[in-house]
Amino acid sequence: MLLENTMPVLLSRLDFAWITSMHILWTPMTIGMSWLLFALEMAWLKTGDERWYKLNRFFEKIFIINFGAGVATGVTMEMAFGILYGPFSQAVGPFFGNILGFETITAFMYEAGFIGLMVFGWGKVSKGMHAFATFNVGLSSTLSAMWILVANSWMQSPNGVVLKHGLFQVTNWWHAILNDNFVWGFPHMWVACLELALFVFAAVSSWFILKNRNADLFTKLLKPTLLALLIVTPIQIFIGDTLGRDVAMTQPTSLAAMEGHYHTYLPNGKVNTGWHLIAFPNAKNDGNSFAITIPHVLSLLETHTWNGKVTGMDSFPAKDRPDVWVPFYAFRAMVAIGFFLFFVALWGNWLRLRGQFNAQALRKHPWFLRSVVFSGFLPYLAIWCGWWTREIGRQPWVVYNLMRTYQGVSHMSVGQEIFWFTGYIVFELVVWSGAWYFFSRVIRKGADDIAPSESLFHHPDAGETDAGRAGGGFAKPTFAKPTMDKSR
């Protein structure tokens, strides 16, 4: 029988943390970029501007590499549930089995079918049908993310179930699916995917402008991208704030860890309203050995009142408290990145209002372009920090207040845990290295080799019959000439 806080439990947690952290590098880009590719394709269809077509085909290459890495790491993550968390997988089967089944249908059937048409359908189906396929890739990837967030949010706020005979039996499907954490957790994640993809578009465009390669082409993309970010970044900040207040109500221990908030009341009996800019938790996890505190800010953030009460760690038994170090600093890093990205969007749109948004003028602002390139990596770090805050803040529970983590891990020896951990580390690093190798090749190559759309979508010659028009691209059909093996 496994005991809490033993080496096998720690290794299982570290192994799964590694697997999910590497997988979440890829899936948000797939979700966000699929919608941006659809927007580029619609801009091309509406305006006939060939530059939108070239940008679409260029970023589609990056999308394909990213999608492949996401599939590879996603399949191994599904394996890890059974390998590392066998008792948990069995217990949540009545709920997770259905939810992950729905996700499989959307990701591996719905999405896979249309992504094949999107990637290989150029010139073989009509322009409208191709745009329809791209739209469905975006929709199916969003639905896939929705089902994953349903499952993970349910682990944070397990509504609509009872734990009976070692199984989580669903008593109300609506309550289980639309659980408390999902209502704001899913929008927060989806907008993060869109923000990530927008900043990748902006970063790649800024890099090409700095290098003076296809500068006019990528300046055309940078303008609407930064305008979209001016809208998306404050929306994400608002959703994050709302989700934080929801966590304060549904997972007070997680919120207390995020804020390093140990004491609900001060020694004089007044409500502890202080927000810690920096804090060093002590070894006993019952207070901070050092903190820089600003009065009333915590109450303003979580209750929107001057002296509102925020439940501290001291309201819960020591055995039910999460570790504070990672949630506290990961949460602050995520928030700082969010505001920095908003500032970059403001900076870019300020330059645009001043008429400084052509390729030649932008190169006179190299620090702005460098800041945008740097910002292309920050959403990845923000998503990592948010996910670590979410998962570590839920500890010591794998299903909040119902199943402790040590009860859900597989009964393996330390040697077996190390074996699987090592294998997953090697596999994920191989995928990561391969993806970045191909990313760098695509970016170094640029958009110069992209053939014009007329080579695929051309007008039929005079007198050409419908039979001579294969697919929407009107490419003439070719047929293999049959041969006969005379030796038979």
pLDDT in tens, 85-125: 999 999 999 999 999 888 888 777 888 889 999 999 998 99
Domain-wise residue ranges, the chain: 19-178+412-449, 185-397
Closest by Cα among 115, 149, 101, 130 to 30 = 115
Residue 469 confidence (pLDDT): 45
Name the pLDDT band for 356 (thresholds 50, 70, 90).
Answer: confident
More confident residue, 380 or 458: 380
Average pLDDT (61-69) is 95
Residue 112 confidence (pLDDT): 85
- 354 contacts 402 by C-beta, under 8 angstroms: no
Residue type, 370: R
More confident residue, 108 or 446: 446
Residue 182 confidence (pLDDT): 96
Per residue in 405-441, is it b (16+ CB within 10 Å) or e — as a string? bbbbbbebeeeebeebbeebeeebeebeeebeebbee
pLDDT at 5 > cutoff 90: no
Q: What is the mean pLDDT of the chain?
A: 90
Name the pLDDT band for 459 (thresholds 50, 70, 90).
Answer: low
Residue 25 confidence (pLDDT): 92
Name the pLDDT band for 483 (thresholds 50, 70, 90).
Answer: low
Return the bridge partners of 169, or none: 162
pLDDT at 2 > cutoff 90: no
Average pLDDT (467-472) is 44
Average pLDDT (205-222) is 94
Average pLDDT (181-192) is 96
Residue 111 confidence (pLDDT): 87
Average pLDDT (319-341) is 95
Name the pLDDT band for 475 (thresholds 50, 70, 90).
Answer: very low
- 127 contacts 457 by C-beta, under 8 angstroms: yes
pLDDT tens-digit readout, 146-181:
999 999 999 999 999 999 989 999 999 999 999 999
DSSP code, position 283 = T
pLDDT > 90: what percent of the chain? 80
More confident residue, 184 or 75: 184
pLDDT at 478 > cutoff 80: no
Record the pTM: 0.91
> What are the residues whose beta carbons fall under 8 Å from the beta carbon of 357, sequence distance 6 or more?
219, 222, 223, 351
pLDDT at 73 > cutoff 90: yes
Name the pLDDT band for 232 (thresholds 50, 70, 90).
Answer: very high
Query: What phi-psi label fits residue 166: left (phi over 0), alpha (psi between -120 and 50 degrees) or beta?
Result: left
Backbone angles phi, psi at 289, to 5 degrees: -80, -20
Name the pLDDT band for 456 (thresholds 50, 70, 90).
Answer: confident
